Amino acid sequence: MGNLILDRISKSYGERKVLDGLGFEVREGELFGFVGSNGAGKTTTMRIVLGVLAADSGTVSWGGAPLDESSRREIGYMPEERGLYPKMKVREQLVYLARLRGRSPQDARRAAEEWMERLGVAERGGDEVEKLSLGNQQRVQLAAALVHDPKILVLDEPFSGLDPVAVDVMSQVLRDKSAEGVPVVFSSHQLDLVERLCDRVGIIRGGAMVAVGTTAELQEQGQAKLLCRVEGAPDGWAETVPGVLAREGDLFTLAPGADEQHLLRAALAAGQVREFSWRRPTLTELFRDVVTGDKA
């Protein structure tokens, strides 16, 4: 196995620089969430890892050696523009893809059956891909990424459009693959899911990584807020409390070093205090801060 390392990747389309010295590492056995706004460069990055696109500069290595044609065969890839043959039957297609990556006919057939079963599309094995619903096509697409027993997984928005049951199935498969030691990187706009699932998260903005770490590490960098819920308080009760910088509903942002006891005392004086606790920012809040530039 080994770590997947992207180092100072740059890529321009004509005059337009899309990736600007991007670097990050997906460790073996790690589930890494790759997030960023539309057009930030996620798909471009993944296609460079795959070798479908060439970077202008920078390197991609795995286990200490640059990725080459042979090591790229060990990647399981789920492209954003799903790449199945619509007229080919599900089972045939999976066997074909596994064979293409060098698996024996028996291994390819066995793996196709196993993954169809695991991903809940076994009864559709004899159907043409185009006859499946989009969500089921996506399950087949994941099977296609897994059928050759990849040592690296790169998945472009694997969760988009899936129903909650399929999200759970997909999540468990990714967890299991990473538990086997495979570095798994996937992009997603579903940040609650990324927060729940990933060991580490990288946020890309303007073609560069602006934050990388575990959710807890990123939360350390974000500003904690105070949740203060008071019943029966008049509007504007907190307006003159020292140290309060901003308020959104029951959430208060305090000035650095401000004493939260001022707010508590004011709240007790204003009404019935039902909740009073510090709250770390969610990944969605951190993401907003980072992509709008507040913490970049």
Ligand X SMILES: Nc1ncnc2c1ncn2[C@@H]1O[C@H](COP(=O)(O)OP(=O)(O)OP(=O)(O)O)[C@@H](O)[C@H]1O
Tell me how far, at minimum, the Cβ of 12 lies from ligand X, in Å.
9
Q: Is 139 exposed, middle or buried (0-12, 13-18, 19+ CB in 10 A)?
A: buried
How far apart are the two ends of the chain, measured CA to CA in Å?
33
* Residue (of 160, 212, 150, 154) closest to 186 by Cα position: 154
Return d(Cα 56, Cα 44) in angstroms, integer.
Answer: 12
Six token digits for residue 133 = 């619903």
Output the 3-class SS for 122-169: HHHCCCEHHHCCHHHHHHHHHHHHHCCCCCEEEECCCCCCCCHHHHHH
Q: Measured from the CB atom, is 134 or 268 closer to ligand X?
A: 134
208-267 residues near ligand X, rule: CB under 6 A: none
Tell me how far, at minimum, the Cβ of 44 lies from ligand X, in Å.
3
* DSSP one-letter code for 210: E
Q: Measured from the CB atom, is 44 or 71 closer to ligand X?
A: 44
Q: Measured from the CB atom, is 39 or 105 closer to ligand X?
A: 39
Q: Measured from the CB atom, is 69 or 81 closer to ligand X?
A: 81
Tell me how far, at minimum, the Cβ of 206 lies from ligand X, in Å.
10
Tell me how far, at minimum, the Cβ of 43 lies from ligand X, in Å.
3
6-45 residues near ligand X, rule: CB under 6 A: 13, 18, 36, 38-44
* Residue (of 244, 267, 264) closest to 255 by Cα position: 244
Q: Measured from the CB atom, is 12 or 172 closer to ligand X?
A: 12
Tell me how far, at minimum, the Cβ of 128 lies from ligand X, in Å.
27
Q: Measured from the CB atom, is 44 or 138 closer to ligand X?
A: 44
40-79 residues near ligand X, rule: CB under 6 A: 40-44
Return d(Cα 273, Cα 240) in angstroms, integer.
Answer: 18
Give CA angle at 228 (226, 233), nearest 5°.
Answer: 145
**Residue-by-residue DSSP string for 9-77:** EEEEETTEEEEEEEEEEE-TT-EEEEEE-TTSSHHHHHHHHHTSS--SEEEEEETTEE--HHHHTTEEE
Q: Measured from the CB atom, is 35 or 140 closer to ligand X?
A: 35
Tell me how far, at minimum, the Cβ of 187 lies from ligand X, in Å.
7
Tell me how far, at minimum, the Cβ of 39 lies from ligand X, in Å.
4
Size of the site for ligand X (CB under 6 A): 10
> Which residues here bind ligand X, judged by CB under 6 A?
13, 18, 36, 38-44
